[in-house]
């Protein structure tokens, strides 16, 4: 297959690119800074410069592609600990989060509209933030959206590429949880840090539901959805075992042989990261109803299996 990936140098995009290349597929990655990444790409992968707003210079890459995967968007929380703490959701920051998603989606729609041979499917990134903070409610793909800033942003993100269905392109939306478990980036290394420093424990009250997925299952699910003609619309890319935050803390402490009883109260996060606290401590019991219906098999269905795999490396 020929596959175009925007956001292909991020955590999920890099893992997906590597997997597809290993299987012999040709992957074209769209990047704002190709010179930073082109020396690290596996065989069978090309990188194209794009501005994330227009089709200038790269639009023809979509013509003849079998699939497009849109993962483009500025990181919600931040790319490192400094950004997580100090890069607050100011009005300017919120505007960048929004434009980095909507502009990219609209550019991809335009490229598809102009293509003579259109892709069969576009996989659109999304997030569990679509649902907002929902307490004890079980969240499947038919659950209504939340009403906070992040929920509104994610709804618009999903809709940014919805128009491709008008061109006969299958549209799949992947709602990924807040933690994609990988040691190479994302939120998981930040979760590990307090435990490594012997100050680990529950975040906030610890009762909030914590949804997650192992990076290998994330990548395999995207590949599964690309190839499955019955897959369309929203799909929760989340492991089947949701746990409460305090259960996560207890298991991390056990596996790392570190304390897991030092709580980090909500007011601490309010002071430290402001409005992002709502994102960090939201209770979201997300379930993979659609993946289960389609017959996807998880390699890491339980939290303990996922943690043991990662912590053994």
Q: How many helices (H) and strands (E) does the chain have?
A: 12, 13
Q: Which residues pair with 30 in a beta bridge?
A: 6, 48
CA distances to 37, 52, 89, 309 from 202, rounded to whole Å, are: 37, 38, 24, 22
Among residues 274, 307, 291, the alpha carbon closest in space to that of 224 is found at 291
Tokens of 37: 């990444």
Ordered by where they begin, the domains of the chain are 2-182+211-239+285-299 (3.40.50.720)
Rounded to two decimals, the pTM is 0.94
Residues 6+ apart with CB under 8 A from 65: 2, 3, 4, 28, 115, 119
pLDDT of residue 148: 92
Report which DSSP code applies to 203: B
Angle at 309 between CA 281 and CA 12, to 5 degrees: 60
* Sequential pLDDT tens for the chain (313 residues): 999 999 999 999 999 999 999 999 999 999 988 887 776 788 889 999 999 999 999 999 999 999 999 999 988 876 665 566 657 778 998 999 999 999 999 999 999 999 999 999 999 999 999 999 999 999 999 999 999 999 999 999 999 999 999 999 999 999 999 899 999 988 899 889 999 999 999 999 899 999 999 999 999 999 999 999 999 999 999 999 999 999 999 999 999 999 998 888 887 777 767 777 777 889 999 999 999 999 999 999 999 999 999 999 7
d(CA 156, CA 248): 31
Half-sphere exposure of 146 (CA within 13 A, CB side): 23
- Between strands 209-210 and 243-244, the pairing is antiparallel
Residues 6+ apart with CB under 8 A from 287: 138, 139, 140, 236, 238, 240, 242
- For residues 310 and 248, the answer to whether their CB atoms sit within 8 Å is no
pLDDT of residue 168: 97
pLDDT of residue 211: 94
CA distances to 15, 206, 214 from 301, rounded to whole Å, are: 19, 22, 9
Among residues 126, 115, 119, 239, the alpha carbon closest in space to that of 169 is found at 119
- For residues 151 and 145, the answer to whether their CB atoms sit within 8 Å is yes
């Amino acid at each position: 297959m020929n596959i175009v990936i925007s956001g292909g140098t991020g955590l999920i995009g890099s893992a997906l690119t590597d997997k597809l290349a290993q299987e012999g597929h040709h992957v074209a990655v769209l990047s704002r800074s190709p010179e930073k990444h082109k020396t690290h790409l596996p065989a069978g992968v090309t990188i194209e410069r794009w501005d994330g707003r227009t089709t200038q210079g790269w639009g023809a890459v979509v013509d003849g592609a079998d699939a497009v995967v849109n993962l483009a968007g500025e990181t919600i929380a931040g790319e490192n600990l400094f950004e997580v703490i100090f890069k607050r959701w100011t009005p300017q920051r919120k505007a960048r989060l929004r434009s980095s998603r909507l502009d990219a989606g609209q550019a991809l729609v335009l490229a598809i509209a102009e293509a003579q041979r259109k892709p069969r499917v576009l996989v659109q990134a999304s997030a569990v933030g679509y649902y907002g903070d929902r307490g004890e409610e079980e969240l499947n793909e038919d659950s209504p959206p939340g009403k906070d800033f992040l929920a509104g942003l994610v709804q618009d993100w999903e809709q940014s590429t919805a128009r491709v269905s008008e061109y006969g392109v299958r549209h799949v939306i992947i709602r990924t949880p807040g933690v994609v478990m990988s040691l190479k980036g994302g939120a998981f290394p930040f979760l590990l840090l307090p435990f490594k420093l012997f100050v680990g424990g529950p975040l906030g009250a610890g009762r909030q539901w914590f949804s997650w997925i192992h990076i290998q299952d994330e990548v395999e699910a995207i590949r599964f959805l690309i190839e499955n003609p019955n897959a369309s619309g929203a799909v929760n890319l989340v492991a089947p075992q949701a746990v409460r935050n305090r259960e996560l803390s207890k298991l991390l402490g056990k596996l790392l042989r570190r304390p897991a009883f030092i709580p980090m109260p909500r007011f601490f996060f309010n002071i430290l990261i402001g409005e992002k606290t709502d994102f960090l401590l939201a209770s979201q019991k997300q379930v993979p109803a659609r993946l289960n219906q389609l017959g996807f098999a998880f390699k890491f269905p339980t939290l303990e299996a996922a943690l043991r795999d990662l912590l053994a490396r």
